[in-house]
């Protein structure tokens, strides 16, 4: 090969190197786009796109119910209630003050002191006795909490009293150097029957990616007050029992909270026995935590959580005082001048001070929300977000 040919070949090689580098870059970029697209599709499918999941499908029967035969020959179910002495009225920490609860959430219905009567007409038909309905449970705590219920529904901007449900929501604030640093809401709840305490799923569907507001879920199920749940749809493990059906029972390292048909509530560690829970009549179960009170009912002094979770955040808690007597608590946060949020240990102290013997932390952050009488009652962080489930209280059907 002549010198000119060698020079020409060398120049062609040098000219081709940038093109080869560009081709390699384009190939790499194309591979990156393909891999990224696959990862995006996977994430959308796994975390966001709604899809139903298969439930274990075990219906947990109420072990406290027994069947009787009425005078008409029909069967009637009567739950066996757990009766305890009424507890004292809840108190709150001395440094926490009640705020004016006359907010504009919810509608007002003025109660009437004088009952209305109708004058009998000359032609009146004799009263008829309604035929007993089959399998209608006798309400469990009607007599126990009769002072809290009313035959006629009475609603204010922060309270509700009806035949089987009593709710009183109080707003509390905490200040530091003249500035409000914490605002929270506690709904004091009495129910005449465990069936008044319900849960709901987004789209009424068990699965992943189904999201709905607490307000919409609560209203669709005739709820009076509602709070967010444990966001089970974002988790891939744990125990899920809703309204007496076992949907999921996968190993978890979280505390679980179980509400039983007899109205009691217990918090268990990850080593719970599912067969024991079924035998005891588990009615609802959530997986989130942590537990806020110890076995003696005292506030925990520390929790096993990462550094970020230990800081002030919006939070939601479920409290148990005695069978038929519960509380929903929502602590707003991430809003300077209104509410910065709360730490686990401070929330635990408040729940103990309110009279709870069991208390459990549910999902928080932007998920934390309370609704009452058809409206959002608190101020969720960043406007809140939709989620997979909620807890609600409604009149017995």
Encode pLDDT of 29-43 as tens digits: 887 888 877 777 666
- Categorize the per-residue pLDDT at 310 as very low, low, confident or very high, splitting at 50, 70 and 90: confident
Q: Over range 83-93, report the average pLDDT.
A: 57
As a whole number of angstroms, the distance between CA 69 and CA 329 comes to 42
Grouping H, G, I as helix, E, B as strand and the rest as coil, residue 4 is: helix
Q: Are strands 375-376 and 325-331 parallel, antiparallel or unpaired?
A: unpaired
The continuous run of DSSP H or E covering 265 comes out as: strand 265-268
Decide if pLDDT at 157 tops 70: yes
Largest CA distance in the chain: 132
Burial, 216: exposed, middle or buried (Cβ in 10 Å; 0-12, 13-18, 19+)?
middle
Tens of pLDDT, residue by residue over 214-240, are 999 999 999 999 999 999 999 989 999
What per-residue confidence (pLDDT) applies to 38?
79
At 346, list the tokens.
């401070």
The pLDDT value given to residue 304: 77
Contacts of 210 (CB under 8 A, 6+ apart): 50, 201, 202, 203, 233, 388
Q: Give the per-residue pLDDT at 113.
A: 42
Non-local CB neighbours of 124 within 8 Å, separated by 6+ positions: none
Segment 142-152, tens digit of pLDDT? 999 999 999 99
pTM: 0.77
What is the C-alpha separation between 355 and 90, in angstroms, rounded?
5
Burial class of residue 392 (count of CB atoms within 10 Å of its CB; 0-12, 13-18, 19+): buried
Structure confidence at residue 36 (pLDDT): 78
**Please, are residues 239 and 287 in contact by the beta-carbon 8 Å criterion?**
yes
CA distance 394 to 195: 8
Phi-psi domain of 139 (left: phi exceeds 0; alpha: psi -120 through 50; beta: other)? beta
Which residues in 301-325 are b (16+ Cβ under 10 Å) and which e? eebeeeeeeeebbbbbbbbbbbbbb
pLDDT class of 122 with cuts at 50, 70, 90: very low
SS (H, E, C) 181-239: EEEEEEEEEEECCHHHEEEEEHHHCCEECCCECHHHHHHHCCCCEEEECCCHHHCCCEE
- Domain locations in the chain as residue ranges: 59-108+133-393
Q: Is the pLDDT of residue 19 over 90?
A: no
Reduced to 3 states, what is the DSSP secondary structure of residue 29?
Answer: helix
Q: What is the pLDDT of residues 318-337, one digit of tens each?
A: 999 999 999 999 999 999 99
Number of alpha carbons in the 13 Å side-chain half-sphere of residue 252: 25
Residues in the chain: 397
């Amino acid at each position: 090969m002549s010198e000119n040919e060698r020079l020409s070949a060398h120049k062609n090689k040098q000219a081709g190197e940038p093109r080869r580098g560009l081709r390699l870059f384009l190939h790499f970029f194309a591979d990156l786009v393909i891999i990224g697209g696959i990862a995006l599709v996977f994430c959308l499918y796994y975390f966001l796109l709604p899809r139903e999941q298969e439930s274990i499908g075990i219906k947990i029967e109420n072990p406290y119910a027994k069947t009787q035969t009425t005078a008409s020959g029909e069967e009637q179910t009567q739950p066996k209630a757990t009766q305890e002495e009424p507890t004292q009225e809840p108190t709150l920490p001395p440094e926490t003050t009640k705020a004016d609860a006359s907010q504009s959430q919810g509608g007002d219905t003025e109660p009437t002191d004088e009952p209305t009567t109708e004058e009998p007409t000359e032609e009146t038909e004799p009263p008829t006795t309604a035929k007993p309905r089959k399998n209608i449970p006798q309400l469990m705590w009607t007599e126990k909490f009769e002072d809290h219920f009313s035959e006629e529904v009475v609603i204010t901007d922060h309270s509700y009293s009806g035949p089987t449900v009593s709710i009183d929501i109080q707003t509390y604030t905490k200040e530091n150097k003249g500035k409000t640093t914490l605002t929270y809401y506690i709904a004091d709840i009495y129910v005449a029957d465990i069936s008044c305490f319900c849960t709901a799923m987004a789209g009424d569907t068990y699965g992943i990616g189904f999201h709905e507001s607490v307000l919409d879920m609560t209203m669709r199920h005739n709820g009076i007050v509602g709070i967010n749940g444990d966001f089970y749809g974002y988790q891939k493990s744990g125990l899920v029992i809703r309204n007496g059906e076992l949907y999921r029972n996968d190993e978890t390292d979280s505390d679980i909270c179980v509400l039983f048909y007899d109205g009691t509530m217990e918090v268990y560690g990850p080593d719970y026995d599912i067969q024991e829970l079924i035998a005891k009549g588990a009615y609802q179960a959530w997986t989130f935590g942590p537990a806020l009170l110890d076995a003696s009912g005292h506030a925990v002094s520390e929790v096993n959580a990462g550094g970020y979770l230990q800081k002030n955040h919006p939070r939601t808690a479920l409290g148990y005082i005695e069978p038929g007597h519960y509380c929903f608590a929502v602590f707003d946060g991430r809003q300077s001048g209104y509410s910065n949020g709360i730490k686990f240990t401070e929330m635990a102290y408040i729940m103990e001070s309110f009279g709870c013997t069991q208390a459990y932390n549910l999902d928080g952050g932007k998920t934390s929300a309370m609704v009452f009488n058809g409206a959002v009652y608190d101020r969720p962080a960043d406007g809140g977000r939709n989620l997979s489930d909620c807890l609600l209280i409604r009149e017995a059907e």
